[in-house]
Every structure is written in C-alpha cells, then in structure tokens.
Amino acid sequence: MKKFDLNRILQWLAHILRCPVCGHKYEASQTKIIDAADDKPMMGRSILVHTDCDKCKSSVVFSIAIDGPEIFSIGMVTDLTSQDTSKFKNSQPISSDEVLATHEFLREFDGDFRSILK
Ligand SMILES: [Zn+2]
C-alpha cells in the first residue's frame, strides 16, 4: 500500500491554498498538519491542516479529504493557533445547555474575577 508523503502534501497544499481573507498564497513553513489520521487507511483519509497567513495574519483550519484521485477541502477561519488546534481537535462541542449556563452566570456576574478564581 502506498504511504502518504506528508511533506509533499504540505508543499502541494501551500502551493494551491490561498488565504480566504486576503487571497495571499500560503507559505509551506506556515502550514502545519494537525492530524494526518495515520491510523486510518489511505483511501478516504482526512487530514487536518492549520495555516497562518503572512500578509493579513489570519489563521485557517482546513479539513482535506483524499479519496483516490479526488481531493476535497473545507476551510474555516479561526482565531486558534496551531497549538490550540492540536489541543482542542478531539474536544466535544459546546452544548446549548453549557451556553445557557454561561449566559446565566454572566448575567449575574459582578466582574469580580478575584472572588471566582479563589
Ligand atoms: Zn490573508
């Protein structure tokens, strides 16, 4: 079975991907693979890539699915760094109950962080 050459994929991604905010071409050095799904078979594998734009300083996370000769990518502008993206990639989504609980908390919160961080 053929193996992924992640360095070649990174170079190729930096060549074809453009910043959705300003259109600047990405640098390979600013593009990091967060999750290459090494435990999955090559067909149907999905790669998570984080890249920073040199020009406008925005960051984008791309999910890239490779299915034989076809490659699909979905990009999402984010304020996460590549380290944050690695940290949170397997986290559960925030539930609506958690959002409501935070809203309720903030409605009553007096702004005194010293008292809540004790
Ligand atoms: Zn940009």
Ligand 1 centroid–CA 19 distance in Å is: 5
Q: Which domain holds residue 59?
A: 6-93
Ligand 1 centroid–CA 88 distance in Å is: 23
Residue 11 has pLDDT above 60, yes or no: yes
- Summarize the confidence of residues 89-111 as an average pLDDT: 93
Domain tally, the chain = 1
- Confidence band (pLDDT; 50, 70, 90) for 106? very high
Q: What is the pLDDT of residue 60?
A: 92
* Domain-located, residue 21: yes
* Domain-located, residue 49: yes
Q: Which of 7-21, 24-38, 100-114 has the highest mean pLDDT?
A: 100-114
Q: What is the pLDDT of residue 73?
A: 85
Contact partners, residue 34, CB within 8 Å, separation at least 6: 48, 49, 50, 61, 82, 85, 86, 89
CA distance 78 to 90: 16
**Across all residues in the chain, what is the average pLDDT?**
85
Of 34, 36, 62, which Cα lies nearest the Cα of 47? Answer: 36
Ligand 1 centroid–CA 111 distance in Å is: 35
* Domain-located, residue 109: no
Using the Cα atoms of residue 20, residue 26, residue 31 and residue 33 in order, give the sign of their dihedral: positive
Ligand 1 centroid–CA 115 distance in Å is: 41
Ligand 1 centroid–CA 26 distance in Å is: 8
Ligand 1 centroid–CA 49 distance in Å is: 16
Residue 1 has pLDDT above 50, yes or no: no
**Per-residue model confidence as pLDDT tens digits over 36-71:** 877 666 667 788 889 999 999 999 998 888 777 788
Ligand 1 centroid–CA 40 distance in Å is: 32
* Domain-located, residue 68: yes
* Domain-located, residue 108: no
* Domain-located, residue 99: no
Ligand 1 centroid–CA 18 distance in Å is: 8
* Domain-located, residue 34: yes
Q: What is the pLDDT of residue 105?
A: 94
Ligand 1 centroid–CA 66 distance in Å is: 25
Single-letter amino acid code for the residue at 17: L
